[in-house]
């Protein structure tokens, strides 16, 4: 069903590229109504235009807060062209139909990013724009709504194809986009208010997102996938791809897992190697190259095809080491010229600069079949005041620092999680097992396979309590001398007795770190 456009209303905050649509509107003798700055821009570009206040006979007021909120405007937009009563009422009032609405909103998100002035932010909450957009989108059978500059070329093509008319299919598509925009816009405002008032769990929760990229597929080739940005700055996520293939769903999943760990470790050069969203190697060392080599040594077999995340600059020496193993993605805080020359030899290797990446959100969301779970991120390692040294032998201050490192890594591993470390490097990781005993066996087997000499006097961290003593007996038998765990089992006494009998050290944190 084609609809001829006779009258258009244009009111845009972003006035770039207006000339390209004005030229086509003139070609098809479409009359233009506009307001404020948009009216001045259109006139300056040399096109005819009637100001809204002149058209409605109502001078805008309240510093421009009220200008398009007028019956003559909204009747023209909402008028059902197939309804005889509507026709009669419009004719009686001598109101014109408005067949095309071109609107984009006040830059609320930019004002939040660039201003701490609450008054300025509030003034950038658009009222008239979203009201017109919703009205036009509702009446898509008769009215076309355009809300994005990216759609100007589609509007031009449509007008040229149908000689000044638009198709129902196109109007409906633009209506869908328009309602998506108003929902998105309102949700950013609600998010700002919730942050301002420190409301973490409002009664009505909206999660906004702007599509950053269509991905080739999801976790598997038969699944479709895209990545969205959930932030006031919705144009990028702080990852600058320098070289390599496009990132996949699994790449992003691993990248975010690696960055979570990396951001939890401050100052010390650290390397994280991720495979299937679980770390297979984590190491902190004053020497970046030792940090990488230790992380790789933790499980070189699993590292194959994984991603590497570093909180330091990659130089030539580290690049040469990296190139000895097949990795999908390398993340680092910049790369020197010689390092890039070496890494770019592998054309498919994704090389990403994370210098501008920041942790912007403190919430974690899981979606399932029409419902979702929302929680704070697990940002605590433990409270040192809550530590309980429950065995006869007590750890030294230096050992407590490594206990903290091990327990921190543990919280990023799928439960049940067991982490073995030596000198601030993982040497064995048991992840995602239904049985904690199985995780203990896997962690110790990994360490025995790749770094058996470092097992002696190693530290073991468990994300939750040991329900039985069998798990710690497996760890003790392998050579572990210190165990850190939350405690809280009805068999804590039995577990502690086993630790004392083996003459090892045990620390209870009182903090659990399940990661499902």
Note the pLDDT tens digit of each residue in 347-401. Answer: 999 999 999 998 888 888 998 988 999 999 999 999 999 999 999 999 999 999 9
- Do the beta carbons of residue 359 and residue 263 sit within 8 Å? yes
pLDDT over 80 at 61, yes or no? no
* Whether 316 contacts 288, CB under 8 Å: no
| The architecture CATH gives domain 384-508 | 3-Layer(aba) Sandwich (3.40)
pLDDT of 144: 97
- DSSP letter for 148, please: -
C-alpha distances out from residue 164 to 8, 19, 34, 70, 500, Å: 12, 17, 19, 27, 87
Task: Give the mean pLDDT of 96-114.
Answer: 90
Reply yes or no on whether the pLDDT at 91 is more than 90. no
Q: Does 66 have pLDDT greater than 80? A: no
CATH number of 238-353: 3.40.140.20
Query: Which of 126, 229, 103 shows the shortest CA–CA distance to 175?
Result: 103
| Residue 278 reports pLDDT greater than 80 | yes
267/333 Cα distance (integer angstroms): 12
pLDDT tens sequence across 122-147: 988 888 889 999 999 999 999 999 99
> pLDDT band at 166, cuts 50/70/90?
very high
Task: HSE, CB side, 13 Å, CA atoms: give it for residue 441.
Answer: 7
The fold of the 3-196 domain, in CATH, is Rossmann fold (3.40.50)
> Of the residues 15, 141, 276, 448, which is catalytic?
276
Q: Is the pLDDT of residue 88 over 90?
A: no
**Is 191 an active-site residue?**
no
Average pLDDT of 13-21? 89
Which of the four pLDDT bands, split at 50, 70 and 90, describes residue 428?
very high
Catalytic choice (87, 138, 154, 414):
138
Which of 212, 216, 219 minimizes the C-alpha distance to 254?
Answer: 219
**Which pLDDT score is estimated for 57?**
79
Backbone angles phi, psi at 72, to 5 degrees: -65, -35
Task: Over range 73-87, report the average pLDDT.
Answer: 89
Q: Does 308 score more than 80 pLDDT? A: yes
Render pLDDT for 457-483 as a digit per residue (tens, 0 to 9).
899 999 999 999 999 999 999 999 999
The span from the CA of 135 to the CA of 76, in Å, is: 10
- Determine whether 174 is exposed, middle or buried from the number of CB atoms within 10 Å of its CB (0-12, 13-18, 19+): buried
Kindly tell me the sign of the dihedral angle through the C-alpha atoms of 371, 377, 381, 387: negative
Q: Distance between CA 406 and CA 403 in Å, rounded?
A: 5
Q: pTM here?
A: 0.89
Known active-site residue 276? yes
- How many other C-beta atoms are found inside a 10 Å radius of the C-beta of residue 227? 14
Q: Which residue ranges make up each domain of the chain?
A: 3-196, 238-353, 384-508
Helix (H) or strand (E) holding 330: strand 329-332
Whether residue 12 contacts residue 37, with contact meaning beta carbons closer than 8 Å, is answered with no
What's the mean per-residue pLDDT of the chain?
Answer: 93
Q: Under a CB-based contact definition with an 8 Å cutoff, are residues 499 and 391 in contact? A: yes
Do 238-353 and 384-508 have matching folds?
Answer: yes
């Amino acid at each position: 069903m084609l609809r001829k456009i006779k009258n258009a209303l244009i009111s845009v905050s972003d006035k770039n590229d207006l000339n390209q649509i004005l030229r086509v509107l003139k070609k098809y003798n479409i009359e233009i109504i506009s307001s404020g700055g948009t009216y001045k821009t259109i006139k300056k570009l040399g096109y005819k235009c009637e100001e809204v206040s002149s058209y409605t006979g109502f001078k805008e007021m309240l510093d421009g807060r009220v200008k398009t909120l007028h019956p003559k405007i909204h009747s023209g937009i909402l008028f059902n062209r197939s309804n005889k009563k509507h026709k009669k009422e419009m004719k009686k009032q001598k109101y014109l139909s408005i067949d095309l609405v071109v609107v984009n909103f006040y830059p609320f998100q930019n004002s939040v990013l660039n201003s701490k002035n609450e008054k300025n932010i509030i003034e950038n909450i658009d009222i008239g724009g979203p009201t017109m957009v919703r009205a036009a989108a509702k009446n898509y059978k008769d009215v076309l709504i355009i809300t994005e500059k990216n759609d100007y070329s589609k509007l031009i093509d449509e007008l040229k194809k149908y000689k000044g008319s638009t198709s129902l299919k196109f109007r409906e598509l633009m209506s869908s986009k328009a309602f998506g925009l108003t929902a998105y816009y309102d949700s950013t405002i609600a998010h700002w208010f919730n942050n301002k008032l420190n409301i973490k769990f409002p009664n009505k929760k909206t999660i906004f997102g702007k599509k950053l990229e269509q991905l080739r597929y999801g976790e598997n080739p038969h699944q479709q996938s895209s990545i969205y940005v959930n932030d006031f700055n919705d144009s990028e996520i702080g990852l600058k791809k320098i070289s390599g293939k496009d990132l996949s769903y699994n790449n992003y999943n691993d990248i975010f897992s690696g960055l979570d760990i990396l951001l939890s470790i401050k100052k010390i050069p650290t390397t994280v190697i991720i495979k299937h969203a679980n770390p297979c190697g984590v190491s902190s060392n004053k020497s970046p190259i030792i940090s990488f080599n230790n992380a790789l040594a933790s499980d070189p077999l699993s590292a194959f095809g994984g991603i590497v995340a570093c909180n330091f600059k990659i130089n030539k020496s580290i690049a040469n080491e990296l190139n000895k193993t097949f990795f999908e993605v390398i993340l680092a805080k910049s790369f020197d010229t010689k390092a890039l020359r070496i890494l770019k030899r592998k054309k498919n290797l994704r090389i990403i600069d994370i210098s501008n990446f920041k942790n912007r959100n403190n919430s974690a969301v899981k979606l399932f079949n029409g419902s979702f779970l929302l929680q704070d991120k697990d940002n605590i390692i433990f409270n040192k005041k809550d530590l309980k040294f429950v065995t006869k032998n007590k750890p030294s201050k230096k050992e407590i620092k490594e206990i903290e490192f091990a327990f921190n890594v543990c919280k990023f591993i799928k439960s049940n999680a067991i982490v073995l470390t030596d000198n601030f490097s993982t040497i064995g990781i048991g992840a995602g097992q239904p049985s904690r005993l199985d995780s203990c066996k896997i962690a110790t087997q990994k360490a025995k396979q790749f770094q058996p000499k470092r097992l002696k006097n190693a530290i073991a961290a468990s994300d939750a309590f040991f329900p039985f003593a069998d798990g710690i007996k497996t760890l003790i038998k392998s050579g572990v001398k210190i165990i850190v765990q939350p405690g809280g089992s009805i068999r804590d006494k039995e577990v502690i007795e086993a630790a004392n009998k083996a003459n090892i050290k045990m620390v209870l944190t009182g903090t659990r770190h399940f990661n499902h």
